[in-house]
Structure 1
Amino acid sequence: MQLWKSLVNLFLQSNCPLCQRPASEEFCEYCHKQLQKCRLTGSNNSKNNLSSPPVIAWGAYGGAIKRAIATMKYNNHPEIARPLGEWLGEVWLQEYGSKGSFMVVPIPMHPEKQKERGFNQAELIAKSFCETTGLKLKVNGLQRVKATEALFGLSPIERKETLTQAFDIGKDFRKPPNVPVILIDDIYTTGTTVNSAVEILSKSGITVSGVAAVAVPHRGKLYKEFIGKVG
């Protein structure tokens, strides 16, 4: 019987998208360990009083997590979003438990870009995040109405100009929710994208309590102040 189980497990294994080693889950054991080294712990993923809105993050952007996110987005591996969203959800639960009522909204992609990629990684991460936390997902809380160039390499002013009027309220929020919103994205860097989304939501009377991102630049003590607003 044990031999049969071993054969079945071997048959069910796929290759790790990061190194092509056999893997029974999304990542092989080696890459999983490398990814966990990127995890922010304690105060490193917790406080940034200057952040507006406040941000909670799972890991520091670089190394294995940078490679995993790039592989997910550019090498057609949407399955990577499931563990990333789960890990981000676990950070949320460790910090806040089941306190507070929120709606979770992923940062949207422009329809043409999403069609080209085949998926929106923020949406997939948000689905896994909500499965882990039990929070309610609103996939269409926002819509992206302006196709924008990649922000990498742009100055803060250029980023802001590029994202001006890039978002609008989505069909899920034609009637504003009566609870605050948490925005979900894969990477949080300068906050330009998030601030543009927050501006649109605020104009409709929708409160954004914070942002949850898989990875942020490692600048010492990061990132969450979230919740005088949660209690």
Structure 2
Amino acid sequence: MEKIFWGRFPIVRASSLLWYSRGGKVAHILAGMKYYGRRQVCRHMGEVLALELQSSGFFAGVDYLLPVPLHPDRLRTRGYNQSLLLAEGISRVTGIPVCDGVLRRVRNNQTQTHKSAWERQENASHLFQLAGDTRVLERKHVMLVDDVLTTGATLTSCAEVLSEIKEIHLSIVTLAWTK
């Protein structure tokens, strides 16, 4: 998974727990998490992810978990951010604090579900900006948390903005990965 980000931005490590395939069990879980209000499933899957990866040392040295934010309009409509709930589940197991609010989605882009790799990249460019006091992340190892990785466009857009923070180190974890 780390290879997806090579040449895009410096990455410490990256991993995902599950493989995603359209129509499969993982797709069903993700749909429930995103569109059917299954908040407890989000937290539980974060806990499962953390329990599976923790013994490998995957979370060693990580200072903060940073969930990929939703646009305020989508957050208002959905009522929750599934990536934040995943991060909270990971935090319950690892004890790593969740740092929410330093990254803001500034454009309510269309869903990427049915887009090509090129369209995803274009759709995800300039999506985020820093918000609030980001000094807390200076010289820290921050792990971006998202529900699913496809082309890496959204996470790359996050990383581009976060790279403005002095000496930040980035890792990535997602619940699922489609290859």
1:88 aligns with 2:41: no
Q: Distance in 2 between matches of 1:87 and 1:206?
A: 31
Residue by residue over 1:6-27, the C-alpha shift from the partner in whole angstroms, topping out at 9 and shown as x without a partner, is xxxxxxxxxxxxxxxxxxxxxx
Q: Distance in 2 between matches of 1:109 and 1:155?
A: 21
Question: Is contact 2:33-2:39 (8 Å) kept?
Answer: yes
4+ residue segments displaced more than 6 Å = none
1:199 aligns with 2:152: no
Question: Is contact 2:67-2:144 (8 Å) kept?
Answer: yes
Q: Which runs of 5+ in 1 are unaligned?
A: 1-47, 220-231
Aligned residue runs from structure 1 range 83-122, under 5 A: 83-96=44-57, 99-122=60-83
1:51 aligns with 2:4: yes
Q: Which runs of 5+ in 2 are unaligned?
A: 6-10
Task: State the one-letter code of the partner of 1:59.
Answer: L
Aligned residue runs from structure 1 range 168-179, under 5 A: 168-171=129-132, 173=134, 175-179=136-140
Q: Distance in 2 between matches of 1:102 and 1:66?
A: 30
Q: Distance in 2 between matches of 1:149 and 1:206?
A: 32
Q: Distance in 1 between matches of 2:129 and 2:39?
A: 25
Task: Pick the structure with greater CA Rg.
Answer: 1
Post-superposition offset of 1:55: 2.1
TM-score if structure 1 supplies the norm length?
Answer: 0.68
Secondary structure of 1:105's aligned partner:
strand
Structure 2 partner of 1:4:
none
Structure 1 partner of 2:8:
none
Structure 2 partner of 1:126:
87
Residue by residue over 1:124-144, the C-alpha shift from the partner in whole angstroms, topping out at 9 and shown as x without a partner, is 000110111111210113110
Aligned residue runs from structure 1 range 16-35, under 5 A: none
- RMSD over aligned CA atoms reads 1.9
Question: Is contact 2:61-2:141 (8 Å) kept?
Answer: no
Structure 2 partner of 1:60:
19
Question: Is contact 2:2-2:14 (8 Å) kept?
Answer: no
Q: Distance in 1 between matches of 2:59 and 2:69?
A: 26
Q: Distance in 1 between matches of 2:59 and 2:68?
A: 23
Aligned residues: 171
Q: Distance in 1 between matches of 2:51 and 2:133?
A: 26
Task: State the one-letter code of the partner of 2:65.
Answer: V
TM-score if structure 2 supplies the norm length?
Answer: 0.87
1:138 aligns with 2:91: no
Identity of aligned residues (%): 27
Which structure carries more relative contact order (alpha carbon 8 Å, separation 6+)? 2
Q: Distance in 1 between matches of 2:108 and 2:167?
A: 24
Q: Distance in 2 between matches of 1:88 and 1:50?
A: 21
Taking structure 1 as reference, are residues 127 and 215 closer, same or farther at Cα in structure 2, changes over 3 Å only?
A: same
Q: Distance in 1 between matches of 2:125 and 2:58?
A: 35
Secondary structure of 1:71's aligned partner:
helix
